[in-house]
Amino acid sequence: MVSVGRAVASTVAAGLALLILSFVVSGIFGFIFTDYNVLELDGMRSTDDPLMIFYFIHPFFAALVYSVGFYLIKSSFSGSTVMKGIRFGLFLFLVVTLPSQFLVFSSMDYPPAFYVINLATSIIALPVAGIIIAKIIK
């Protein structure tokens, strides 16, 4: 069983990585899609809405779930710790990001930049989070 300390450490570290990378990747793509602003999408809450705190908590909740998931299936991945983390991150991309983006694409009329940025963020951030989790959970 994974210790509580390792679970908390992997959650905090991977959550921070997910949060920071989402801002970095979004910022980079902001130079490409200059007319896109996620905060201006229909249905998006304003930044002063107290419920927006969940936007910043989400990466940590996701990291907790990912850490527990990695612990449960880590023996399914082969290779070094880094390779296990990368494979786990790519697995998450396939089972979390792609179905989610398909659902949003098929049900909402968002600009293409929304999907490109979400896919790019996930393909970069999830393997990084996977590496962090794999190194801490072992």
82 contact partners, CB below 8 Å, separation of at least 6: 131, 134, 135
Identify the domain containing residue 100 by its residue range: 4-137
- Over residues 5-34, the pLDDT tens digits come to 999 999 999 999 999 999 999 999 989 988
The Cα 19–Cα 12 span in angstroms is: 10
Say what the pLDDT of residue 36 is: 86
Q: Which residues does the chain have with pLDDT short of 50? A: none
Mean pLDDT of the chain: 94
Residue 46: predicted pLDDT: 85
pLDDT of residue 137: 95
Q: What is the pLDDT of residue 103?
A: 97
What is the rounded CA–CA span in Å between residue 77 and residue 74?
6
Q: Tell me, what's the pLDDT at 34?
A: 85
Domains held by the chain: number: 1
What is the structure's pLDDT at 30?
A: 85
Answer whether 127's CB lies under 8 Å from 90's CB.
Answer: yes
Residues with Cβ within 8 Å of residue 122, at least 6 apart in sequence: 92, 93, 96, 97
